Amino acid sequence: MSASLTPQQYLQARGRWRPIEIVFWLATLTPYVLFPDYLSLASQIAAAALFALSLDLILGYAGVVSLGHAAFFGVGAYTAGIFSKYVWGDVFSGLIVAGLLAALVGWASSFIIARFRHLTLIMITLGLGLLLAEAANRANWLTGGSDGLQGMSISPIFGVFNFDLYGKTAYAYSLAVLFVMFLAARRLVNSPFGLALRGIRENFVRMPAIGAESRAHIRTVYTIAAGMAGIAGAVIAQTTQTVALESIGFQRSADVLVMLVLGGAGRLYGGLVGSIIFLVARDQFSGIAPQFWYFWIGVLLIGVVMLLPNGILGGLSLLWSRWRKP
């Protein structure tokens, strides 16, 4: 099959949209018809999916394990909130400002992050995340501290669409932002830069031996991922019109990691699938005490590591390839 294609055509074919992707994105419109009471939840899932996608860029593609990615999510959320409170209620400008500020913080921390590996790297991401969370807590004159940010005022989109309790506008907004960001991420992953990231993940030692500046690449993707996480945070802040400390805390960093790993890192769609499953499950089991929820998450994590190392999508892809060549 591939022998008849030129190398360039082969690579082109790899980057093309697959039918199942189109099905997936069409399916994201179904909540309007099938689950009209759950549109607020759907909106949150879309934002969480974007957050997980941003983590996938650094974890799934460049191999950077971060336990503090929520720092950027939180920066984006608080920036959007504070922007709407003191400056302007327009969502799009709030989104851009939040994304830029989160990217800036990401860029600054990337100089530290790119220099380290293994445990030191994990600890530094954790430490930076905790630092920012603590700073948000202490700066309660700005962030509202543990009471959360109050007084956000979001203007209707295009002057017409209000964020109401039914979530129709919220979902449309979140989904649109997710899709646009996804297109950008997809482009990045299929670019020469995306190939370099995969090289870093596949064999860090070989990269300098082919003349690659791995640290510069890591800094770039970290900055982009931080900006994307910030945009996800801004979307949540704008659609729920509140920002709580949980958006920047360790719990959120751990949760997004679980979502990504559950779906399968390094596949672009893993974070999306993982967030859907995780948040739908959490909503369904919201009655039980948090410890018991985390019991099952613990079991899930052990299961994924021992049995399904590439997450659900990895497992499905394995089944698919086995089914095709028996």
CB-wise, 81 or 266, nearer to other proteins?
A: 266
Among 52, 98, 101, 128, binds other proteins (CB under 8 A): 128
Residue 8 sits in the site that holds other proteins (CB under 8 A): yes
Which has the closest alpha carbon to 21: 273, 229, 302, 238?
A: 273
Among 69, 85, 168, 217, binds other proteins (CB under 8 A): 217
Whole-angstrom distance, CA of residue 53 vs CA of residue 270: 8
Amino acid present at 258: V
Residue 100 sits in the site that holds other proteins (CB under 8 A): no
Distance of closest approach, residue 302 Cβ to other proteins, in angstroms: 4
* All residues at 6 or more sequence positions from 271 whose CB lies less than 8 Å from its CB, including other chains: 49, 51, 52, 53, 55, 56, 60, 256, 259, 260, 263, 265
Structure tokens at 47: 């934002």
Distance of closest approach, residue 257 Cβ to other proteins, in angstroms: 8
CB-wise, 27 or 216, nearer to other proteins?
A: 216
Residue 277 sits in the site that holds other proteins (CB under 8 A): no
* All residues at 6 or more sequence positions from 195 whose CB lies less than 8 Å from its CB, including other chains: none
Among 302, 318, 319, 320, binds other proteins (CB under 8 A): 302
* Residue 264 CB neighbour total at 10 angstroms: 26
Which has the closest alpha carbon to 59: 198, 249, 210?
A: 198
Rule CB under 8 A: which of 233-262 touch other proteins? 254, 257, 261
Rule CB under 8 A: which of 130-159 touch other proteins? 130-131, 134-135, 137-138
Distance of closest approach, residue 141 Cβ to other proteins, in angstroms: 12
How far apart, in Å, are the Cα atoms of 170 and each of 21, 153, 260?
A: 23, 15, 23
Residue 120 sits in the site that holds other proteins (CB under 8 A): yes
Residue 205 sits in the site that holds other proteins (CB under 8 A): yes
Which has the closest alpha carbon to 232: 64, 25, 29, 74?
A: 74
Residue 194 sits in the site that holds other proteins (CB under 8 A): yes
The contact pattern for other proteins, residues 154-193, with x = CB under 8 A and - = no contact, is ---------------------------------xx-xxxx
- CA 29 from chain centre, in angstroms, equals 20
Whole-angstrom distance, CA of residue 6 vs CA of residue 165: 54
Residue 116 sits in the site that holds other proteins (CB under 8 A): yes
Residue 209 sits in the site that holds other proteins (CB under 8 A): yes
Residue 281 sits in the site that holds other proteins (CB under 8 A): no
Residue 280 sits in the site that holds other proteins (CB under 8 A): no
